[in-house]
Structures are given as C-alpha cells and as structure tokens.
C-alpha cells in the first residue's frame, strides 16, 4: 500500500481533498517532497513558521534541551529554565501591565483558559464575540467562533454568548455589566484578514473598562510579528486584559499561551484551586524552541523593513486585474478573486508550480498568504511571479 493510501485509510482526515504532499524535509522558505519536488512555502504552516522552517537557533535550543530533560512534571509545579527563558523574552516585549504568562499546549487551549479566566475574574457568565471570528475547534472556543455553518452540527455549545458585528461602533452598547469577557482577533484571520479601525478598537477598550468586562485579544494567528509589529494590538494603541498566543510562538513546535496581569492569572490558584490545569503545558522542549523563536523575532526582524518589502510585494500585483482586492496587514494577506472556483484553480496551479498558498476557513473567494517574515525580498518577488503566472495560466478555464 502506498504511503498516500495508508494516510487516507488510517489517519484522521479533516477534508475530502487534502494537499497530500509527502514531506521529506523542510528548511528556511522551502518544503521538500519525497518525489524530489520542492515547494516555496508562502503559508508557513498557516502563520506558524514566521522565522522559516528549522531556524538554526530553534534547532540548537531544542537539541540542548533534549540533552537536559524532557517532561518532568505537570505544568506549574517545578521551576524549569526554558519556561523561565520564554517568559522573560515575552515580558521584554509586552506592556508592563501584562506581566503574567500561563503556557499551554495550543491556541485553542489558550482560548479556553482565557474564557475561564474572564469568568473567574468578573464572576459573570456572558461572553461577547464578533461575527467572522475563528478561535478554535473545541466546544468553548467554537462557541465564541462566528462561523455558524461549522458550529451547527455540534450544538448545544456554551450558553450566554452574544455576537456583535465586527468593527461596528453601535454594537458595542451590547457589552454590559453582565459581560465577563469580550473576545476578538485583533486582526480577523480566517474571515479574510479584516483590520478594525483604531476608533473602533479604542471604543471597545473604553466600553470594556466602563462595564468591567475583560478584553481578550486573540493573537494566535496575528501575533508574533505577523502584522509587522510583535503584537497586533500595538497598531491600535490599546492594551488588552488578556492576550492569547500560539502558532508562531513555538518556532515550529506546538504551544499556546495566555498572557494577563499576574494578579489576574493568580485567580486560577484558588476558589477553586487548580482553576486551569494542563499536563504538558509549558513542556521544557517546546519552551526552549519558543524562547529561541521569540528571541529571533526580536533580534533578526526589522519591522520597517518587513513593512517595506511586504508593500513592494503587494504592489507587484497592481496590474493583475483578476485580483479584486488585496487585504494586507504586515505579512498577512488575503487576495480576493471573483469566485471560490477561481481561487481553487489558482491554489492548485500554484502547487503544480511548486508554491504553497491556502484557503480561508470562512472566506471562500480569497486565497491567503502568510510567508515566513524573514523571507528574502528576491524570493518574495519570485513568489509573486509564480502566483501571477498561475492566475494567468488558469484564466478562462
Ligand atoms: C485566531 C485563531 N485563534 C485560535 C486558533 C486555534 O489555535 P490552534 O489551532 O493552535 O488550537 C487559531 C488557529 O488557526 C486561530 O487562527
């Protein structure tokens, strides 16, 4: 039986049409397949490999940690160097109000913990979210995600969740003294890269303050440099009460984190004690990679240069009439086309040409790009040529 057939027959599937690239290795901007083909990775594991595949500093940190110890104890009991290093790296770039980090296993787990913390801190139950949002695939995180098509089959979900229209000031009045937490992706990712206005974000912050609701910003996809700043909330001049991180935080390893003030995080320690617990959260090997990845983002990426090269890459598509709109924040891109069918042809043609693009969960007529932030400009421009070629070659078919 071929590896492909075994995969289809025995590994849990998520769609009827997986990409099915048989991976041999990955390095920097490229994934190499077993059939000898190489792929320029313009998706980076969906905003995970922000510093490319197998960054040498991440690999070296991993090797060092593996030689010291693997799992030793459930999260929160022992003092472990790589956890300490990761949190020190994060605190250096976080606002001083956010001085506590709780390390978990995934983005979704960070969301679950954030929702619980908002309830615990406020003693309230209502959660407020926004249409178009994606926060994860577990019951709690799905309850605050906006895509009804994906949710229907799994109801009943969490009660007491309200949805507001994204970037719509008038809706903010629906956040009240009953609201425990308001959750928002700082930049909506899977809705097709949607950036709210500064006015909206400031009004949201103010409304949460007025009614005593926790403002939770989900930066799992848009954080860790993806938008051209370390954290996307820096674009808006506001500081959330809780931030969730994941994806690129691990430098290619699985991790999530919940960031808040340490005094609020401490609510998990009593009434009840062990308010959020996790066996593998803060795993020393993963944290060693994450500490290195954050350090690399801080020391090897220049935000002004990133913005300039991303703008020049975007400009390359100006003449391409089939692209109806490009939405970009830093290196987070949505390219709108006339239909989902058109997008599918382009994504498939790009793959044939050795370039990986991808879809959005909740936005069928766009394709997305989230390349490594440290991709050299010449490689980015080569990617633009390949994508434009794929669009031209599939036109009219
Ligand atoms: C904004 C956002 N929140 C939460 C998640 C869930 O993270 P994970 O898949 O690591 O559990 C994702 C994943 O795509 C995401 O993009």
Average pLDDT across the chain, whole number: 97
- At 48, the pLDDT band (50, 70, 90 cuts) reads very high
* Residue of 103, 113, 134 with the most ligand 1 atoms within 8 Å of its CB, for mutation: 134
**pTM beyond 0.75, yes or no:** yes
Among 129, 135, 244, 249, name the best residue to mutate to test ligand 1's pocket (greatest count of ligand atoms within 8 A of Cβ).
135
Decide if pLDDT at 331 tops 90.
Answer: yes
Distance from the CA of 282 to the center of ligand 1, in angstroms? 18
pLDDT > 70 fraction of the chain, expressed in percent and rounded: 100
The best mutation among 110, 140, 220, 227 to test binding of ligand 1, ranked by most ligand atoms within 8 Å of the C-beta, falls on 220
Q: In the predicted model, is pLDDT for residue 397 greater than 80?
A: no
For ligand 1, atom 3: residue with the closest CA: 135
Which ligand 1 atom lies nearest to the CA of residue 46? 14
Average pLDDT over residues 232-254: 98
Neighbour count for residue 260 (Cβ, 10 Å) = 27
Q: What is the pLDDT of residues 316-330, one digit of tens each?
A: 999 999 999 999 999
What's the gap in Å between 385 CA and the centre of ligand 1?
Answer: 30
pLDDT digits (tens, 9 = 90+) for 188-239: 999 999 999 999 999 999 999 999 999 999 999 999 999 999 999 999 999 9
Architecture of the domain whose range is 56-300:
3-Layer(aba) Sandwich (3.40)
How many angstroms does the Cα of residue 67 sit away from the middle of ligand 1? 31
Helix (H, G, I), strand (E, B) or coil at 214: strand
| 6 confidence band (pLDDT: 50, 70, 90) | very high
Instruction: Characterise 212 by phi-psi region: left (phi > 0), alpha (psi -120 to 50), beta (else).
Output: left
- Is it the case that residue 396 has pLDDT exceeding 90? no
pLDDT (average), residues 234-258: 98
Does pLDDT of 361 surpass 90? Answer: no
Mean pLDDT on 113-142: 98
pLDDT tens profile 83-103: 999 999 999 999 999 999 999
Sign of CA dihedral 99, 281, 254, 190: negative
Q: pLDDT at position 362, please? A: 84
Ligand 1 center from residue 320 Cα (angstroms) = 31
Q: How far is the CA of 135 from the centre of ligand 1 (A)?
A: 6
* Contact residues of ligand 1, CB 6 A cut-off: 106-108, 111, 134-136, 185, 189, 218, 220-221, 246
Q: Which of 310, 301, 302 is nearest to 328 (CA)?
A: 310
Q: Exposed (0-12), middle (13-18) or buried (19+): which is 153, by Cβ within 10 Å?
A: exposed
Å from CA of 326 to ligand 1 middle: 22
The whole-angstrom distance between residue 84's C-alpha and the CA centroid of its chain comes to 23
**Is the pLDDT reported for residue 297 higher than 90?**
yes
Residues 6 or more apart whose Cβ sits within 8 Å of residue 274: 268
Index of the ligand 1 atom closest to the CA of residue 247: 10
Where helices occur in the chain by DSSP H, the ranges are 3-10, 44-47, 56-68, 81-93, 107-122, 139-143, 148-151, 198-211, 262-265, 284-300, 303-315, 340-352, 377-394
CATH topology of domain 3-54+302-394: 3.90.1150
State in Å: Cα 219 to ligand 1 middle.
Answer: 9
CA R_g for the chain: 21
> Domain residues of the chain, as ranges?
3-54+302-394, 56-300
How confident is the model at residue 129, as a pLDDT? 98
pLDDT at 304 over 90: yes
């Amino acid at each position: 039986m071929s590896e492909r057939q075994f995969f289809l027959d025995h590994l849990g599937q998520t769609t009827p049409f997986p990409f099915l690239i048989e991976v041999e290795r990955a390095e920097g901007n490229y994934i190499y397949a077993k059939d000898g083909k190489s792929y320029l990775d313009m998706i980076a594991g969906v905003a995970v490999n922000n510093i490319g595949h197998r960054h040498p500093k991440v690999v070296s940190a991993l090797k060092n940690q593996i030689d010291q110890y693997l799992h030793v104890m459930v999260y929160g009991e022992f003092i472990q160097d790589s956890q300490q290093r990761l949190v020190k790296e994060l605190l250096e770039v976080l606002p001083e109000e956010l001085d506590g980090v709780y390390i978990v296993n995934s983005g979704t787990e960070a969301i679950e913990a954030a929702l619980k913390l908002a309830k615990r801190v406020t003693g309230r139950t209502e959660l407020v979210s926004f249409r178009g949002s994606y926060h994860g695939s577990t019951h709690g995180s799905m309850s605050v995600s906006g895509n009804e098509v994906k949710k229907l089959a799994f109801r009943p979900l969490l009660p007491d969740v309200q949805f507001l229209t994204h970037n719509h000031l008038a809706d903010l009045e629906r956040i009240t003294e009953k609201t425990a937490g308001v959750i928002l992706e700082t930049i909506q990712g899977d809705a097709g890269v949607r950036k709210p206005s500064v006015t909206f974000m400031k009004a949201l912050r103010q409304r949460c303050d007025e009614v005593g609701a926790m403002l939770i910003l989900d930066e799992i996809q848009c954080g860790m440099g993806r938008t051209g700043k370390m954290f996307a909330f820096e674009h808006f001049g506001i500081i959330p009460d809780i931030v969730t991180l994941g994806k690129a935080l691990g430098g290619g390893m699985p991790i999530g984190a919940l960031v808040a003030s340490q005094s609020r995080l401490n609510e998990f320690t009593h009434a009840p004690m062990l308010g959020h617990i996790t066996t593998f959260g803060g795993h020393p090997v993963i944290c060693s990679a994450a500490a290195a990845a954050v350090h690399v983002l801080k020391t090897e990426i220049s935000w002004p240069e990133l913005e300039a090269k991303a703008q020049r890459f975007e400009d390359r598509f100006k003449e391409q009439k089939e692209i109806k709109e490009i939405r970009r924040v830093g290196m987070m891109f949505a390219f709108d086309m006339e239909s989902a069918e058109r997008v599918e042809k382009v994504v498939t043609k790009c793959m044939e040409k050795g370039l990986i693009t991808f879809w959005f969960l909740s936005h069928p007529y766009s394709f997305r790009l989230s390349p490594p932030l440290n991709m050299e400009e010449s490689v980015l421009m080569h990617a633009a040529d390949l994508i434009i070629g794929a669009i031209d070659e599939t036109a009219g078919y």
